[in-house]
A = this chain, B = another copy of it.
Amino acid sequence: MATASPSPERDSGAQNIEVDYVISYTIPPSPPTETAEAEASFISLIESLSATGLATEVRPGRTPSSLLVFVKLDSEKLLKDQVYRYRVQDWLYGVRTAAPNPSHSPLTEYFASEPVTEAERLRLAYLLITKPKNEGGAGITPKVGVWRFVSSVFPLHDRKFNSEWLKEWSTKYVLDEQDLTKIRDKFGERVAFYFAFLQSYFQFLVFPAAFGAAAWLVLGGFSWFYAAVNCLWSVVFFEHWKMKEADLAVQWGVKGVSKIQLPRSQFKFEREDVDPVTGEIVKYFSPFRRLARQALVVPFAAACVVVLGGLIVGCFAIEIFINEVYAGPFKGYLTFLPTVLLTIFNPTFTTLLTRLAERLTEWENYETVDAHQASFVQKIFVINFITSYLGIFLTAFVYVPFGKILVPYLDVFAVTAQKFTTEGKPLPTQAWQINPDRLKKQVIYFTVTAQVVNFATEVIVPFAKRKVFKTVEKVQTELAEKNNDGTAVVKIQDAPDEAKFLKRVRDEAELSQYDVTIDYREMVIQFGYLSLFSVVWPLTACSFLVNNWIEARSDAMKIAANSQRPIPWRADSIGPWLDSLGFLSWLGSVTSAALVFLFNRTKDGGGPPDGSPWDITGWALLVAILFSEHLYLVVQHVVRGVIQKMDSPGLQKERAERFKMRKQLFERMVQQEVSGEEKIPERSKKESVESGRFWGRQGPAGAAETIAIGRALIRQAVDAGEKNQTKVARD
């Protein structure tokens, strides 16, 4: 029935028939108390939504234990009211230049001149669903407290737009501003900013890719010239992006929205205070208490270093021992041991630490979503920094320079291994020689292989997973139909004209939420490889250039097909990732200098680094680093100055808006006579009389008489001058 459908029904499946949000509601079949609670909560859900002015419809979900509640704004009045309210707020916070001015023009006109985008409508609808009842919302907080049965609240994809989007991008080489604006109107500024960043980064990569290829051919690795150009590039990119994002924020009309903070529903307050200024009730949580909790980031970072660092160092040591020292039995198999260990434990530890980071951030108890997000991002940056870069750091700054001293300690493995061998003979080992290619191989692994693996896990795995699940489900459904028990009843309930649409909604309900953080993280870490280590292998940027063309498309695909439609939040920048970028760019100046200083001599016939702390004078290395770092800071200062001078579309827009406002206001002012008769309270009478005498001396008309008297005085001055001269001449 639902499988073979005529064309009109296919249409209804692709369209969203005015649904703003779908609430996926889970009913636990047991224990009965939970079921009863779920039922009560469901009633209050519908009542709350309805009281807020939202229309609701309920349909069964895929499984009998889930319901789908469809929500839409019931009236245009409600929407307009919300739009107006939030635009006024924007204006108060300086986000909008022009105030929505209901007293001057009818609202219809106003909304015709500034239409409501889909993203704005959906954002406000989401706020209506989630904000507390005392602020006029329905107060639904998914997965929390009484609303723990609400498993998700999501808008429906615009299938037509999505397929056009993917088609367009897959045939396009460069994304332009219009493409970004389209994304902004559909998915909100937060997602649009990610694509804008990706696009900007992609375009900037062209230069280091070309230069890197040339450097690879001509200069080879560890060239100080490449390092300098690369650092300069990363500064220019960073500063340019900072300007670009401010500019986009102006163009998109979201400059300063980060000041309008979205309260976190999970925030727990200590007490409610009355704001001494506004008289409003505010929720209070001691910032010092929070500060104390924030201080836990230090032991957290230490834990990350110990756990992940320990794992990496351990695997590293085993790997070196097996590959370069060990020559006993099973060497062919044992070679894979460190990789296996890493593959098993790295994701496990990372997941555990990420969960710990979540808990910690939760415990820090932020009032706003942004603050929470920023704190969480900080922590996952620490984790990712270690997992991504520590291995290379070890090779470059421990293994190569100090290997000769440290490797003998690896005999501990030999001793351990010997205990398990019954013969009692010493394990056969080979003469150890440092592997000078190791660093390069590692960098290539991280910048090429890992990127491909990443793509696979991000796009292909979820796709395959869904395919498998669907097959399993189909088999199950067939089995259920055979058994002909309760589950089949639900199926029959779908009205034929809705069936297709409901099937689509059920599919979307099962998708995971899109988290832009993960995509940002990937790009920032990638930028880190380029900034920190590309001096080892200058082709790095070429690899990234190819990767990122695909990345933009696969991310689009991820949003359009593999995730629920994201809630179109606004943003005025890439947020906390900006700091991470700046940090990596700065650190690049340090590592590049160190790498060039340590490894460059290989080429000059100074002999390869041989694993002993050879004739590098510590202070020369430090001077190189200090010099490079401070040169970096100076260059950054200069580049920032230059970039700030440039004009940009956003600035032009701002200027135009301001000019328009000013013109209007002055025109209005001219029309309306500024009254001249009203006098400011007179000064003390006595002074007024005296000043009257002073100012009256040269007649009421003033100017003419002042000029006459002035000229007389000038005459006198000239005369006096002449007399003096005569006198001098006479003397």
Contact = CB atoms under 8 A, between A and B. Distances in A.
Interface in A638-692: 642, 645-646, 652-653, 655-656, 658-659, 661-662, 665-666, 668-669, 672, 674-676, 678-680, 683, 686-687, 690-691
A174 interface: no
A106 to B, nearest CB: 8
A29 B490 contact: no
Contacts of A727: 485
B652 A276 contact: yes
A94 interface: yes
B645 A707 contact: no
A92 B702 contact: no
A583 to B, nearest CB: 11
Contacts of A97: 92
A252 to B, nearest CB: 17
Interface string A617-652: 111011101100000000000000010011000001
Interface centre among A56, A678, A714, A719 (most CB of B within 10 A): A714
A626 B280 CA distance: 49
A72 interface: yes
A652 B67 contact: no
B693 A659 contact: no
B655 A107 contact: no
Contacts of A15: 687, 690
A47 B702 CA distance: 10
A113 interface: no
A76 B678 contact: yes
Contacts of A646: 287
Contact of A619 (B74, B94, B618): B618
Nearest to A711: B39
Contacts of A707: 42-43, 46-47
Given A27-B718, A77-B676, A278 B655 contact: yes
B719 A486 contact: yes
A663 to B, nearest CB: 9
Nearest to A29: B721
A706 interface: yes
A714 B661 contact: no
Contact of A669 (B75, B102, B277, B706): B102
A69 B698 CA distance: 12
A711 B42 CA distance: 8
A33 interface: no
A560 to B, nearest CB: 21
A76 B277 contact: no
A489 B713 contact: no
Interface in A1-59: 11-12, 15, 17-18, 27, 29-30, 32, 35, 38-39, 42-43, 46-47, 49-50, 55-58
Contacts of A698: 56-58
Contact of A690 (B12, B77, B277): B12
Given A76-B678, A76-B680, A277 B713 contact: no
A617 B276 CA distance: 59
A717 interface: yes
B27 A57 contact: no
A163 B42 CA distance: 76
Nearest to A659: B278
Contact of A668 (B103, B277, B659): B103
A111 B680 contact: yes
A675 B287 contact: no
Nearest to A50: B703
Nearest to A94: B94
A344 interface: no
Contacts of A29: 717-718, 720-722, 724
A625 to B, nearest CB: 8
B690 A67 contact: no
A10 to B, nearest CB: 12
A714 B655 contact: no
A412 interface: no
Given A277-B655, A622-B623, A58 B676 contact: no
Interface stretch (A81-89, A429-437, A461-469, A518-526): A81-89
Nearest to A622: B622
A106 B675 CA distance: 9
Given A88-B662, A88-B665, A655-B277, A711 B674 contact: no
B674 A81 contact: yes
A709 interface: yes
A575 interface: no
A414 B459 CA distance: 82
Contacts of A703: 46-47, 49-50, 56
Contacts of A625: 626
Interface in A100-149: 102-103, 106-108, 111, 116
A709 B698 CA distance: 93
B661 A495 contact: no
A713 B88 contact: no
A661 B92 contact: yes
A344 B477 CA distance: 101
A102 B672 contact: yes
A617 B620 CA distance: 11
Nearest to A502: B694
A58 B706 contact: yes
Given A42-B707, A291-B645, 13 more contacts: A27-B717, A35-B718, A55-B695, A57-B698, A58-B698, A58-B713, A64-B721, A74-B702, A84-B669, A84-B674, A277-B655, A501-B694, A618-B619
7 contacts: A30-B725, A89-B662, A92-B665, A116-B680, A277-B652, A280-B659, A625-B626
Give me the 5 closest cross-chain CB pairs, A-B, nearest first. A29-B721, A618-B619, A77-B676, A50-B703, A17-B691
Interface of A: 11-12, 15, 17-18, 27, 29-30, 32, 35, 38-39, 42-43, 46-47, 49-50, 55-58, 60, 64-67, 69-70, 72, 74-77, 79-81, 84-85, 88-89, 92-94, 97, 99, 102-103, 106-108, 111, 116, 275-278, 280, 287, 291, 485-487, 489-490, 495, 497-498, 501, 617-619, 621-623, 625-626, 642, 645-646, 652-653, 655-656, 658-659, 661-662, 665-666, 668-669, 672, 674-676, 678-680, 683, 686-687, 690-691, 693-695, 697-698, 702-703, 706-707, 709-711, 713-714, 716-725, 727
